[in-house]
Amino acid sequence: MQKRKSITRRVNRMFATRLRKLRCERGFCSAESFARSIDLDAPTYRRYERAEAQPSLETLAKICIALDVTPNDVLPVPTDIWRHDGTPAVA
């Protein structure tokens, strides 16, 4: 169970970092302005950028549309976390 938590934390942090970077690159100067643009409560959105929560699939779709990216652009699937056979690589 500890391995799974470690992987989840890493994935959450990577997602948060990518999300914040893409938001800024796309010209949304603040998390609040971006949250408004996708009709989401700003504190909820900020939790995504702090890796404290994960968006629903519906919210993820709204985020991707607003940023003009695909889910693959924001969801981390690094080789240091997953092996080619789909099993976790984290010990």
- Per-residue pLDDT of 40-74, as tens digits, reads 999 999 999 999 999 999 999 999 999 999 998 89
Q: Is 82 helix (H, G, I), strand (E, B) or coil?
A: strand
For the ranges 14-18, 66-70, 86-90, the lowest mean pLDDT is seen at: 86-90
Mean pLDDT value across residues 16-38 = 96
Q: Choose among 26, 56, 27: nearest CA to 41.
A: 56
DSSP annotation of 84: T
Q: What does the chain come to in residues? A: 91
- Quickly state the pLDDT bin for 82 (edges 50, 70, 90): low
